[in-house]
A and B are shown apart, each in its own frame.
Chain A
Amino acid sequence: MANEEIREGLAEILEEVAGVQPDDVSEDKTFTDDLDVDSLSMVEIALAAEERFGVKIPDDELANLKTVGDAVTFIEKAKAAA
Chain B
Amino acid sequence: MSNRPTVVVTGIGATTPLGGDVASTWEGLLSGRSGVTPLTDEWAQDIPAKIVARMAVEPTSVLERIEARRLDRCQQAALVAGREAWADAGFDPVHKTKDGVPDGQVQGVDPERLAIVVGSGIGGALTMLGQDDVLEQRGVRRVSPLTVPMLMPNGPGAALGLEFGARAGVHATVSACASGSEAIALAVDLIRAGRADVVVAGGTEAVVHQLPMAGFAQMRALSTRNDEPERASRPFDKGRDGFVLGEGAGILVLETAEHAAARGATVYAEIAGAGITSDGYHITAPDPTGSGAARAITLAMRDAGVEPADVVHVNAHATSTPSGDVAEAAAIRAAVGDHPLVTAPKSMLGHLLGAAGAVETIATVLSVRDSIVPITRNLEDLDDGVELRVVTVEPKRMPVPVAVNDAFGFGGHNVALVVRKV
Contacts and interface: CB of A to CB of B under 8 A. Distances in A.
B4 interface: no
Interface stretch (B142-150, B244-252, B367-375): B142-150
B103 to A, nearest CB: 15
A43 B64 CA distance: 21
A43 B145 contact: yes
B145 A44 contact: yes
B141 interface: yes
A18 B145 CA distance: 13
A8 B69 CA distance: 22
A55 to B, nearest CB: 13
Contact of B65 (A19, A36, A50): A19
A17 B146 CA distance: 11
A47 interface: yes
A40 interface: yes
Interface string A1-30: 000000000000000011100000000000
Contacts of A17: 69
Interface string A35-58: 010001001100100100000000
A49 to B, nearest CB: 12
Contacts of A44: 144-146
Nearest to A43: B145
Given A18-B66, A19-B66, A47-B141, A40 B100 contact: no
B282 interface: no
Contacts of A40: 70, 145-146, 149
Contact of A36 (B100, B145, B146, B149): B100
A78 to B, nearest CB: 15
Contact of B142 (A18, A19, A36, A47): A47
Interface string B50-76: 000000000000001110011000000
Nearest to B65: A19
Interface in B127-180: 141-142, 144-146, 149
A8 B145 CA distance: 24
Nearest to B147: A40
Contacts of A19: 64-66
Contacts of A36: 98-100
Contacts of B69: 17
A19 to B, nearest CB: 4
A50 B142 CA distance: 10
A47 B146 CA distance: 12
6 contacts: A17-B69, A19-B64, A19-B65, A19-B66, A40-B70, A40-B149
Interface of B: 64-66, 69-70, 98-100, 141-142, 144-146, 149
Given A18-B66, A44-B145, A47-B142, 11 more contacts: A17-B69, A19-B64, A36-B100, A40-B70, A40-B145, A40-B146, A40-B149, A43-B145, A44-B146, A47-B141, A50-B141
